[in-house]
Every structure is written in structure tokens, then in C-alpha cells.
Structure 1
Amino acid sequence: MTRQTLRILMSSLVLFLGGCSILPQSDPLTVYQLPAVSGATASAISGLSTKSLTVFAPYANSFLDTGRIAVIPSGNQLSVYEGSRWSDAVPRVFRDRLIQDFRRFTDLKAVGSEGDNLLASYQLRGDLGAFQVEYRDGQPTAVIDFDASLFDGQSGRVIASQRFSVAEPVDGRQVPEVVQAFGRASTRINNDILQWVYRVAGK
């Protein structure tokens, strides 16, 4: 075999290998935002127009502290919806939607996250115990549990603590319908949280 023929064969092999990958192709992910569902808006409240609030991303266990859309199909089995994810890790998705609702439906002077370095009058912290679909009597249901604590932003004193929980049936079995159910559930639980913050902070 001549050197020229060998060079041609080697070049062809490089081109062939360049078009192949030894790594498996991953399935494309559909990324979802947590929707603000039309027709399920929170109630506007007022009374803290001179105050400010920092909302912290809640603590969550390793199963929830990812961007995957979690589901518990039965018993103690933990799973996720394949090919789908939230736009961010679940605790930040929850926090950002809560901040959005505080800004939209209250008269607080300023509302920000822990990264905004806001010298806030109050801090809202908590644990996210559930943000998943559970099958209840065969019905897929979006479940959100949040253990909240409101702190005085200056002294660090705990003003009050409260557990919030909502369950919203999913109208179907597909992921877009699951996402819409989470949107409705988030609106409901956020409205409860907003009302509670105003009630305990106004004392």
C-alpha cells in the first residue's frame, strides 16, 4: 500500500469518526415555566405600604431540589416525568412565583430574593415539603406543602410560623395539564401565604 493511499484511508477514517459519537444521544427536554393561571388570581391586599420583604428559596430535600417535575405514582415510589423539567430548581421556581405574587397583589414597598441584598423589614423563610404530583384514588393531583416562618428583618426574631398545604386535581394525564394544575395550586397557596403575612405582620 502506497503512502498516498494510506493517507487517503486515514483521512476517510477521521471524517467518518467525526460524524459519529460514542456518547448516547439524550432525549430533548421540554422546559416549563410555572404559569400564572387565568381566572385563579390572588386577592389584592394592602396595609404594609412602608414595609419591605425578602423571600428566601425554601429548603427542600434532594428529590425536590432539582428542575425535574416530580411524581409519586404509588406508595413510596418516587419518579419524575421523563423529557420535561421546570425552568429552574423547584425551590427557586416556588420562590420566584411567590415574589411575583407579592409584587402583583400587595402594596409592599419592595419585595426581593435573598440575592438582592435588600434591607428588608421582614424575611420569609421555610421548608418545601412537597411539590409533586401524587395519585389519590387514581386521580393525579398537584400537591404543595410549605412550612413558613416570618422573621423580623432587623432583629432576626421569629414573628410567626405556619404550615400551608394545597392539592389541585390534574385535568388529564399529560405534562402540560400537570403544569397547569401546579399553576392553580401555586396561586391558591400563595394567596394563603400573602394573607397570613399581612395578618401577622400587621399586629
Structure 2
Amino acid sequence: MVALVAFVSLNACTGLGSLTKAVKQPNDLYVLTPKSTFSPALPRVSNQIEVEEPTATAAVDTDRIAVHPTPLQVQYLPQARWVDRAPLLVQALLIESFENTGKVAAVGRSAVGLRAEYMIVPELREFQAHVVPGASQDQTLRVNVRLNIKIVDAYEDRIIGSRSFQEYQPSASDAAPDLAAAFDEALGDAMRDAVEWSIRSISAHAARNPRPTLN
């Protein structure tokens, strides 16, 4: 489920007009959850995997929660943000999701100095809600999440697989908690499919190209 962190606002000074009102209305911060359930038939891989920070457009590479009222317009929810920039948030969730499979020898990000044999190179192509034309009043927004995943063989420095994973999830309302819950559901489904495909692809490639594992 979506976890909500509410900051306690500091006492604002009087006489600052609209700025004072803004200080009295701090942003609510939202986190998303990693995937924890996977196919029991996933193969085990003894390879070390590095997950890079996803690339994204400027509209997505932010901690603000994006909404498209029209296909060519981007707006952001007021007084609501993610706990981190969306690409960093997704990177951390992908790493934890890989760990939660229990099928990977080691997984981390480049900053930890992992000597990876395979690199997961994600692109966060869609991470926003869209206004649904003609929808009922209480269900006017639909979340769209699309991840493109490339798998790179670090030994050969070449891409061995590339695939996109897209999920849609309607929001129960236009309220921030409902919208964040829809993001959580859509991203979770996309990550599950991406992680399972990545593990199967790495397992198959490693079986065809046996090498000594790194210590």
C-alpha cells in the first residue's frame, strides 16, 4: 500500500500574505512500494546485477506528481510530492524488487561499487496520470506507467535484450491519496513483469555464455 508522510508545518510569521498561507500548507509526501510476489518458477541466477538510474524527460524527472489534462499539457498536483525524484524512486524500488525475488546473487546500484556482470538500464517513459475524456465524475484520472528495460552484458559491453512494460490503472478519485495508490498499483505490475523478464533473460544468456562469477 501507499505510505503517506505528513510534515508538520512550522509556525508561520504573520503579515506575509499569500507566502504565509503557502507555508501553512506543507506538501504531503508519498512513497511507493516494491514488488514482493513473483512467479515461483523463476530461475536462480548467480550473476551480479547493477540497476542504473532510469532516464526520463524533464516532465517526469521531478518529485512532483504529474497529471496530463490534455495530451499536450502537463500540470502537477498541488501540496503533494513524491519523497524523491521519480527516477531515483523507481531505481530504488527496482533494486528492492530484484532482491525480493530471492533469485539473484547480488543486486545494487553503481554507487556501491558493485562489480556487475549484467546491467539493467531503465528508461521511465511514462509516469503520469491522464484525464479520461467522458469518464464519470468520481473516476476521471488514469495512471500510465511505462518502463523500457535494456539488459547489458558488462563483459561484452553490448545489449542482450530490450523490452517495454506498460500498465494503466484508474484512480478512485482525483484526490492525492487515491492517485498515489493508482501509481503504486501500476508501477508494481510493470516492475513485476520487468524483473521476471530480466531474470529469465539473464539466466538464458548466462547459460549460453558461461563465465567464472565475480567475487
Report the TM-score when normalising by structure 2.
0.78
Q: Deviations over 1:56-83 (max 9, x none)?
A: 1111111111100111122312101100
CA distance in 2, matches of 1:129, 1:49: 28
- 1:30 paired residue number: 28
Percent identical across equivalent pairs? 24
**Partner-residue secondary structure (3-state), 1:109:** strand
Q: Which runs of 5+ in 1 are unaligned?
A: 1-17
2:54 is the counterpart of 1:58: yes
1:32–1:87 CA contact under 8 A, matched in 2: yes
**Partner-residue secondary structure (3-state), 1:202:** helix
Q: Which runs of 5+ in 2 are unaligned?
A: 1-12, 205-215
Higher alpha-carbon Rg: 1
- 2:174 paired residue number: 173
Change (3 A) 1:116 1:104: same
Change (3 A) 1:22 1:187: closer
CA distance in 1, matches of 2:34, 2:110: 22
Q: Which aligned segments of 4 or more residues in structure 1 are displaced greater than 3 angstroms?
A: 18-23, 40-46
**Partner-residue secondary structure (3-state), 1:173:** coil
Change (3 A) 1:42 1:182: farther
Deviation at 1:148, TM superposition (A): 1.3
CA distance in 2, matches of 1:96, 1:45: 24
- 2:194 paired residue number: 193
2:54–2:87 CA contact under 8 A, matched in 1: yes
2:43–2:200 CA contact under 8 A, matched in 1: no
Report the TM-score when normalising by structure 1.
0.82
- 2:209 paired residue number: none
2:51–2:120 CA contact under 8 A, matched in 1: yes
2:141–2:170 CA contact under 8 A, matched in 1: yes
**Partner-residue secondary structure (3-state), 1:61:** coil
Q: Between Structure 1 and Structure 2, how many residues are aligned?
A: 184
1:41–1:187 CA contact under 8 A, matched in 2: no
2:116 is the counterpart of 1:120: yes
1:58–1:91 CA contact under 8 A, matched in 2: yes
CA distance in 1, matches of 2:41, 2:195: 8
One-letter identity of the residue aligned with 1:75: P
2:142 is the counterpart of 1:141: yes
Change (3 A) 1:97 1:46: same
Deviation at 1:22, TM superposition (A): 8.7
- 2:88 paired residue number: 92
1:69–1:132 CA contact under 8 A, matched in 2: yes
1:121–1:152 CA contact under 8 A, matched in 2: yes
**Partner-residue secondary structure (3-state), 1:165:** strand
